[in-house]
Structure 1
């Protein structure tokens, strides 16, 4: 698995977790989903994502 595939996997899992927390725990967890979306939009314009930096440090191949 390369960094792009890992990033998509992590983003998808985080969105599903945040939506489950919104539904089962409290409605304010929707702001976590908003944060994830804002980070994805930001990374599309700047070509930098904090999760990609973490994955590179973990030794994931590009």
Structure 2
């Protein structure tokens, strides 16, 4: 798995988890989905993704989007 796929997997998992927690626990969990969405938009505009930095340090090889 490369870094691009890992970022997509992490973002998708967090959005689904946030949606489930919003339905089951508290409506405040929707803020997690909003944070993930804003972070995805920010990284597409600037090219900097904090999750990519952490996953790269964990040893996941780079893809073509995050170098």
| TM-score by shorter chain over 0.5 | yes
Q: TM-score, normalised by structure 2?
A: 0.89
* Structure 1 runs of 4+ with >4 Å offset: none
- Number of residue pairs matched? 62
Q: Quote the Cα distance in structure 1 between the aligned partners of 2:7 and 2:24.
A: 26
- Give 5+ residue unaligned stretches, structure 1: none
Structure with greater proportional helix content = 1
- 2:56 is matched with 56
How big is the alpha-carbon RMSD for the aligned residues of Structure 1 and Structure 2? 0.5
- Give 5+ residue unaligned stretches, structure 2: 63-67
